[in-house]
Amino acid sequence: MHEHHSALGLATALRNADSGVAIAKLSPVQPVTLIRPHAATRAARFFVEKFPGRTLYAVKANPSPELLQTLWDAGVTHYDVASIAEVRLVARALPEATLCFMHPVKAEEAIREAYHTHGVRTFSLDTIDELEKIMRATGDATDLTLCVRLRVSSEHSKLSLAAKFGVDPAEAKALLFAARQAADALGICFHVGSQAMTPDAYAQAMERVRAAIVEAAVTVDVVDVGGGFPSVYPGMEPPSLEAYFAVIHRAFESLPISYSAELWAEPGRALCAEYSSLIVRVERRRGSELYINDGAYGALFDAAHIGWRFPVRLLREPESEVRDHPFSFYGPTCDDLDHMAGPFELPADVQAGDYIEIGMLGAYGSAMRTAFNGFGSDETVIVADEPMASLYAEADERLSSNVVTL
């Protein structure tokens, strides 16, 4: 973790740093990623103990092997994989884990390898063509869990996932019936979109599940509510996760399904957003624009391309007493698109040479990184301080129970 080359020979000093301020004092030239295993552990235990069903980690949110191990150690045993590369990664890192191939459109070769080489038995689909592909690739296997993905609304989420996948309501009956004939266990899944800001998103989607089950008149063994569970960002403060769990549990209990049916969820962002943050250096200030050494082609892809606002703080001692001012960021590449509009609220006296911590980058930040234009850094440091925002800060003090109070 700490043996990577450091331009200033700071690897040993970084290893001993325990917070962003301590690292900033060492004046690193390249961005430094801070990881907080304790935060990921806390989030995983929260879901394992409180979600009224099975938790599958959505690997795409952050495929770090270290994070996968942390989640496994905290009790997450099932993993939502979306590509054969993710299948191989998790199978190698966690050979005892259960893998669920939840991308609705897969290469036939990927299905074949997943089933025959890695023991994957759960697959999602949203067309008859995909069902036929799965059956061919698995040799008409009789031990499959097949999850039909329904198209549901993303109106309550910050990022829509309603356009690309999901069977149309008019075609759901035929697909569910065909999948029921082929499957050992039949599931229905959906995705309400990323960063769902109200539990109503799941309540509405579960009504769509109810209608599909009634219309198709099939026995359903699994209901998978997908991802979309939120984290905390500036201007995006969702209700407690317990509120989401209560709504989901109530809706699940009212479905026309057997007593033995299972409830699944696929959190990604909610399990890993608090896991890491990033320390960047200000290389130039131009009015309200700060030129920093990471950006759109690094960990700040979402800040640039979808206008996501992340929490920020100036790492300076003594702390600035100047009033905050809204800033935008430019990243280090030569591309004008390497721009993060923000606004990011920082003390108005921030200047070149200052260091800034950008928080809540555990979800998708690391996964989106490139080395475009020769910029990037692999320097990673484990720290023990708290993330800049949290939905779990008091989780250890709450009742550890898998029973949701309704």
**Each residue's pLDDT tens digit, 154-204:** 888 887 777 888 999 889 999 999 999 999 999 999 999 999 999 999 999
Displacement of CA 283 from its chain's centroid (Å): 30
For residues 353-382, give the mean pLDDT.
90
383, 270 Cβ separation under 8 angstroms: no
Check whether residue 224 and residue 263 sit in a common domain: yes
Displacement of CA 176 from its chain's centroid (Å): 28
184: left (phi over 0), alpha (psi -120 to 50) or beta: alpha
Residue 406 lies in a domain: no
DSSP class per residue in 289-318 = EEEES--TTTTTHHHHHS-----EEE--SS
The residue that leads in pLDDT, 18 or 82, is 82
Check whether residue 242 and residue 325 sit in a common domain: no
Q: Is the pLDDT of residue 358 over 80?
A: yes
What integer best gives the mean pLDDT of the chain?
Answer: 91
CATH number at residue 21: 2.40.37.10
d(CA 302, CA 237): 18
Check whether residue 23 and residue 132 sit in a common domain: no
Q: Which pLDDT belongs to residue 126?
A: 96
Q: Which pLDDT belongs to residue 396?
A: 52
Check whether residue 25 and residue 165 sit in a common domain: no
Domains in the chain, number: 2
Q: Which pLDDT belongs to residue 395?
A: 52
Check whether residue 99 and residue 238 sit in a common domain: yes
Positions marked active-site = 334
363, 405 Cβ separation under 8 angstroms: no
Q: Is the pLDDT of residue 389 over 50?
A: yes
Structure tokens at 222: 């699994």
219, 177 Cβ separation under 8 angstroms: no
For residues 333-352, give the mean pLDDT.
95
Residue ranges making up the domain that contains 130: 37-272
Q: Is the pLDDT of residue 400 over 60?
A: no
- pLDDT grade, residue 41 (50/70/90)? very high
Check whether residue 289 and residue 169 sit in a common domain: no
Check whether residue 216 and residue 334 sit in a common domain: no
DSSP state at residue 21: H
Check whether residue 197 and residue 263 sit in a common domain: yes
- pLDDT grade, residue 273 (50/70/90)? very high
- pLDDT grade, residue 262 (50/70/90)? very high
**Each residue's pLDDT tens digit, 285-330:** 999 999 999 999 999 999 999 999 999 999 998 999 999 999 999 9
Question: Phi and psi for 351 in degrees, rounded to 5?
Answer: -150, 170
Q: Which pLDDT belongs to residue 401?
A: 42
Give me the percent of the chain exceeding a pLDDT of 70: 92
Q: Which pLDDT belongs to residue 159?
A: 79
Q: Which pLDDT belongs to residue 198?
A: 96
Q: Is the pLDDT of residue 366 over 90?
A: no
Check whether residue 70 and residue 110 sit in a common domain: yes
Q: Which pLDDT belongs to residue 398?
A: 44
Q: Is the pLDDT of residue 247 over 50?
A: yes
